[in-house]
Amino acid sequence: MILLKTFSIAVRALRRNTLRTLLTMLGIIFGVAAVIAMVSLGNGARAQLEASIAALGQNVVTVWSGTMSRGGFRGGFGSSGTLTAEDYEAIRKEVAGVNGVSPEVRNFAQLAAGNQNINSQIMGVGAQYIDIRSWPCSSGENFTEADVRNANKVALIGKTTAEILFADEEPVGQIVRVKSAPFRIVGVLASKGSDMWGRDQDDILLVPYTSAMRRLTGDLTFRSLMLQAASPQILGTVTNQVADLLRQRHRITGGKDDDFMVRTQQETVELFDAQARTTRELLFYVALISLIVGGIGVMNIMLVSVTERTREIGVRLAVGARGLDILLQFLTEAVTLSLTGGALGIAFGVACSRLVTQQLGWPTLTSSGSIVLAFGVSAAIGIFFGFYPSLKASRLDPIDALRYE
């Protein structure tokens, strides 16, 4: 009851100076909005990252073709072909604990079917590829080892690509022309969504790697190899085995640099997460500084308010308010100010997150945890920065306060 009274006195005092109240709250509004938007973006990115771990397949190890070092220049991994068909065969035969292996050959090409066409990614892969990546067909069937051996012109089509080329028609059994070479579609891949780079993974055509190399790219080496370990426990062993085998085959001894790179998907994800974390931390400090500045704004306005209302405090003391009553009144005012700012900031932050998702397509995820945190921080700012002005008010001498001009 007393709290309610104090609260209503505080609201009344704040409403007498609406503009000033709003301006004071601005700092907190932006600080809290920044926190909310930052956490939402971070959570969204993390959720997408986690989804892309699953999308990559389970216990996947990727072997990247080596760097090309020529005259001091060094390309990125995958920039030159050091992984051959023989390497692939060797890994298939000699590395234990592997469920499946598939090469990857990537290329972009214009696809055409009927009067529709699209520029899509063509991936040359082995027959085990879609199992490794846990990427089933929604209709039709995977191509076979025989198709790979014979370099048959068969293809699995991604959901997006299928929709563009065939609209409502059933793609299985249809012909898609890749650089004028006709490929027969044997299956449609289930939807996988975007990957961690934000690229639509369903805009794709999977063909046997043999067909891709022979008929489309003319490459003799692979960009990368993808392996699936039988269990998470043996990931390390598999990684080491593959590395040892390739070093042996490529005659890399002593301190020489590897011309390939073996990465588990966890390592890839961690790399991305580390970058995201740096960005998150930076944003966190920006938000923190903004909140502190907002808090100083609250303290400033409360000090002005106490000075301005010295006579009012004198009257309240004269009619029997105790020091504590005055302290609570001003503290409640400060907390009401910062909490209202916090609430507006939360609304603003959530709106910003929505807008970012809508306009830029970045995933965001507003957690109730961050809202509770923002509210708590706002209350803490009100109490912390409001305490000194309130204490000052409560210690005024009634006679001096009444005489104050």
Partner 1 sequence: MQPGIKLENFSKSYHAGEVEVHAVRNISLEIQPGEFVAIMGASGSGKSTMMNTIGCLDRPTSGRYFLDGVDVGGLTRDELADLRNQKIGFVFQGFNLLARTSAFENVELPMLYSRPGVRGREQRERAEKALELVGLGERADHQPSQLSGGQQQRVAIARALVNQPKLLLADEPTGNLDTHTSIEIMGIFQDLNRRGMTVIMVTHELDIARYAMRTVVMRDGRIVTDQPVTGRLDAAEELRKLKQEQQAIQLAP
Which stretches of the chain bind partner 1, using CB under 8 A?
A: 1-2, 5, 9, 12, 16, 311-312, 314-325, 398-399, 402
CB of residue 21 to partner 1, shortest distance in Å: 14
Amino acid of residue 130? I
Q: In angstroms, rounded to a whole number, what is the distance separating the alpha carbons of residues 87 and 250?
A: 9
- The pair phi, psi for residue 65, each rounded to 5°, is -65, 150
- The pair phi, psi for residue 214, each rounded to 5°, is -80, -40
CB of residue 344 to partner 1, shortest distance in Å: 24
Q: Which is nearer to partner 1, 19 or 274 (CB)?
A: 19
CB of residue 1 to partner 1, shortest distance in Å: 7
Q: Which is nearer to partner 1, 5 or 20 (CB)?
A: 5
The answer for residues whose C-beta is within 8 angstroms of residue 49's C-beta and 6 or more apart is: 196, 269, 272, 273, 276
- Look up tokens 């080496």; give the residue: 221
Integer CA distances (angstroms), 285 to 5, 37, 114, 280, 326, in order: 37, 14, 55, 9, 35
Q: In angstroms, rounded to a whole number, what is the distance separating the alpha carbons of residues 374 and 380?
A: 10
CB of residue 301 to partner 1, shortest distance in Å: 17
What 3-state DSSP class applies to 9? helix
Half-sphere exposure of 82 (CA within 13 A, CB side): 23
What angle is formed at CA 223 by the lines to CA 116 and CA 72, rounded to 5 degrees?
A: 125
- Asked whether the beta carbons of 291 and 88 are under 8 A apart, the reply is no
CB of residue 315 to partner 1, shortest distance in Å: 5
Q: Which is nearer to partner 1, 329 or 378 (CB)?
A: 329
The answer for residues whose C-beta is within 8 angstroms of residue 149's C-beta and 6 or more apart is: 210
CB of residue 311 to partner 1, shortest distance in Å: 6
Residue 1 is given by DSSP the state -
- Asked whether the beta carbons of 121 and 107 are under 8 A apart, the reply is yes
The CA-to-CA distance between both ends of the chain, in Å, stands at: 34
Tokens of 299: 């303290």
- The pair phi, psi for residue 361, each rounded to 5°, is 75, 10
Tokens of 138: 């929604």
Total residues belonging to the chain: 405
- Asked whether the beta carbons of 83 and 67 are under 8 A apart, the reply is no
Q: Which is nearer to partner 1, 41 or 317 (CB)?
A: 317
Q: Which is nearer to partner 1, 130 or 317 (CB)?
A: 317
